[in-house]
């Protein structure tokens, strides 16, 4: 995961510019090298791809500067007023989160090359960037091998101890009994149990609906 300078489009949706060269370049500096875009600069950009949030992504020459443009699609030429994002805190936070999620050694990998369990950890890492107080996890154990599941559970417990609240929707009873306090069980759209781990093992409705012959 490289550390490029980033810029973002602001204001109204960017306007399409007349078709021109395939690549966009920032203005040259006094020494002939590419100059860094400055707050307030209006630049003509070529949109290359779409970001996760749906914004168009354009790069300025070979300098590593990235611009996110709302309302643009790949192939568009757009004009946008840009500002440079502060990266010091963001980069430090990204490194911290990757280390917390045991993904620091995967920083240079694309998400598609990660294992299923590592992608689950990456999903958690993406959420943690925003420093949330409440995190909803929908079946985090699905498709995760036992070793990485232990890592995921450990991170949930550690974050909870730091004051982060988790709402976990999960069918893996071992994970639920390990991390959830209290436990809420529903069956056929109705609440059948609300209590602690000890009680859920003894509740006849829960046993009949989910646990079967699981020993108490």
Q: Summarize the chain as % helix, strand, coil (round to 5).
A: 30, 25, 40
pLDDT of residue 88: 56
More confident residue, 87 or 1: 87
Mean model confidence pLDDT for the chain:
74
Banded model confidence at residue 5, pLDDT cuts 50, 70, 90: very low
CB 77 within 8 A of CB 46: yes
Question: Which phi and psi (to 5°) does residue 192 adopt?
Answer: -115, -10
Rounded distance between C-alpha atoms, residue 22 and residue 65, angstroms: 16
Contact between 78 and 47 (Cβ < 8 Å): yes
Phi, psi of 86 (to 5 degrees): -75, 130
- CA distances 14 to 10, 46, 56, 82, 214, Å, are 8, 12, 10, 11, 59
DSSP-derived 3-state class of residue 11? coil
Judged by average pLDDT, the poorest of 25-39, 62-76, 117-131, 165-179 is 25-39
Written as six digits, the tokens of 160 are 């909870």
Query: CA-CA distance, 145 to 125, in Å (whole number)?
Result: 18
Kindly report which listed range (1-10, 71-80, 85-94) carries the lowest average pLDDT score.
1-10
Q: What tens digit of pLDDT does each residue of 26-42 get?
A: 444 454 444 555 656 67
Question: Which residue is it, tokens 């559970």?
Answer: 153
Q: What is the pLDDT of residue 54?
A: 61
Counting residues of the chain whose pLDDT is more than 70, the rounded percentage is 63
Backbone Cα Rg of the chain: 24
Look up the pTM and report it: 0.55
**Nearest 5 degrees, angle CA 101-CA 102-CA 103?**
90
* Res 117: pLDDT: 85
CATH T-level assignment (fold) for domain 89-180: Rossmann fold (3.40.50)
Compute the C-alpha angle 192/193/199, nearest 5°: 140
Q: Structure tokens of 95?
A: 């490194």
Where are the domains positioned within the chain?
6-84, 89-180
Residue 165 has pLDDT above 70, yes or no: yes
């Amino acid at each position: 995961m490289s550390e490029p300078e980033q810029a973002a489009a602001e204001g109204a949706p960017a306007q399409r510019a007349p078709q021109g060269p395939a690549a966009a370049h920032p203005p040259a500096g006094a020494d002939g090298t590419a100059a860094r875009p400055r707050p307030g600069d209006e630049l003509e950009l070529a949109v290359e791809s779409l970001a996760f949030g749906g914004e168009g992504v354009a790069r300025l020459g070979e300098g590593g500067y990235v611009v996110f443009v709302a309302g643009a699609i790949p192939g568009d030429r757009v004009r946008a007023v840009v500002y440079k994002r502060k990266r010091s805190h963001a980069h430090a936070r990204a490194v911290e989160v990757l280390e917390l999620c045991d993904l620091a050694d995967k920083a240079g990998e694309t998400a598609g090359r990660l294992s299923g369990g590592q992608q689950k950890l990456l999903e958690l890492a993406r959420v943690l960037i925003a420093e949330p107080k409440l995190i909803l996890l929908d079946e985090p154990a699905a498709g995760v091998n036992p070793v990485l599941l232990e890592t995921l559970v450990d991170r949930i417990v550690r974050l909870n101890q730091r004051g982060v609240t988790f709402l976990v929707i999960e069918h893996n009873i071992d994970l639920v009994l390990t991390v959830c306090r209290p436990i809420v069980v529903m069956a056929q759209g109705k609440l059948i149990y609300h209590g602690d781990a000890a009680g859920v093992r003894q509740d006849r409705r829960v046993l009949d609906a989910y646990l079967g012959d699981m020993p108490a």
